[in-house]
Amino acid sequence: MKATYKKYILNFKQPSGTSRGVLTTKETYFLIIEENGKKGIGECGLFKGLSYDDKLDYSDKLQWVCDHIELGVDALWNELREWPSIQFGVEQAFLSLQSNNPFVLFPSRFTESTKAIPINGLVWMGSPEFMRQQIVDKIANGFNCIKIKIGAIDFKEELNLIAGIRKDFSPEMIEIRVDANGGFNSTDALSKIKQLSGYKLHSIEQPVKQKQYDSMAGLCEKTPIPIALDEELIGVINYSDKENLLQKIRPQYIILKPSLVGGFKGSQEWIKIAEKLNIGWWVTSALESNIGLNAIAQWTFTLENNMPQGLGTGGLFTNNFETNLYVKNGHLWYDDSKKILSEKIINQLEVN
């Protein structure tokens, strides 16, 4: 068995705004394992400025993984506790290598094209006109759950955008989620959440920056809108620390991004603790390419969570990879009639 890794730069079709800034490119890495002439591929979805393992020696650690690939998936995963995106890539690559089809990691009715995954329509930050047009487009394309990134433009403008949706669509018709990406101050977060609550929102993600444990716990206790932790989970590695965090803050939901929290195994740890504490959860991608998104979607389907998931990011890039995934009427589908060749994917990596 041997392994190599490749760096790849994904280019956004248009600049995508969050409260942390505007994104134009996304750096990611791929781990390729080969054994007996067969290849497996996994994506190490590093997110610059956000991933816990965004470190100068990231490529050195990937090379270490390649040099020690014979240790196997379980031993490597345990050695990579502080490298969650590489943990995710290792899990995928071994599943891909062992599968009859390198891109069918979790066979199910989803990969058989008989069932789909409900997903939310993502609305990026920008001018009010740009955000309003995105909302109109998502609703026209059959989404009944809209996720709006807030916290960067004028708050009154954001309220007006949400009010415009509610004027035409009841909560029963359109579910609205908002994501502040930590963009509120702890001093005014509750006031803003109370103003948002008048529009009957499903939830608000990460209203204040992570590691403000007392502030976040107070918000979760007093909030009129369910709060979902997102960035708060990043860098919490040990099982006992995960338990302590959720027991301290007691959020209504947590959001699982496998690239950021240790892949499938790390996500399963969070789910186990959350369910014990009666905390809801859903899964979201973290701007992976179609390789990582495909793996996350297939895994998510096996969890049997019927809430809309955050998996609609496959169409964001100009140079993404060919995929079996497609979006129709607010659902993510898998086209099992389409045969994707791993050699073609690897050749695309080689010429990047």
Q: Which of 302, 225, 238 is nearest to 270 (CA)?
A: 238
Higher pLDDT residue, 35 or 130? 35
**19 has pLDDT over 70:** no
Residue 203 confidence (pLDDT) above 80:
yes
Name the band, by pLDDT with cuts 50, 70 and 90, for residue 20: low
Q: Give the whole-number percent of the chain exceeding pLDDT 90.
A: 82
Q: How many CB atoms within 10 Å of residue 98?
A: 14
The predicted structure's pLDDT at residue 342: 78
Domains and CATH numbers, the chain: 2-101+342-350 (3.30.390.10), 117-334 (3.20.20.120)
Residue 103 has pLDDT above 70, yes or no: yes
CA–CA separation, 135 and 122 (whole Å) = 9
pLDDT for position 352 = 65
Structure tokens, 312: 């609609």
- What is residue 15's predicted lDDT score, i.e. its pLDDT? 80
d(CA 80, CA 60): 13
Q: Which residue has the higher pLDDT, 342 or 40?
A: 40
Question: Which tokens is 229 given?
Answer: 């932790």
Residues marked active site are found at 149, 257
pTM for the predicted model, two decimal places: 0.95
Extract the tokens encoding 205: 């993600």
Between CA 190 and CA 299 the distance in angstroms is 35
Q: Percent of the chain scored above 70 by pLDDT?
A: 98
CA 249 to chain centre: 21
Beta bridge mates, 23: 16
Position 351 pLDDT exceeds 90: no
- Reply yes or no on whether the pLDDT at 126 is more than 90: no
User: Exposed, middle or buried: residue 63 (CB in 10 Å: 0-12, 13-18, 19+)?
Assistant: middle
The reported pLDDT for the residue numbered 233 is 98
Residues 135-192 have pLDDT tens digits of 899 999 999 999 998 887 789 999 998 999 999 899 999 999 999 989 899 999 999 9
316-340 tens-digit pLDDT: 999 999 999 999 999 999 999 998 8
- Residue 306, token pair as written in the block: 């019927």
Residue 124's pLDDT band, with cuts at 50, 70 and 90, is confident
Q: What is the mean pLDDT of residues 86-94?
A: 98
Give the DSSP H or E segment for 261. helix 258-261
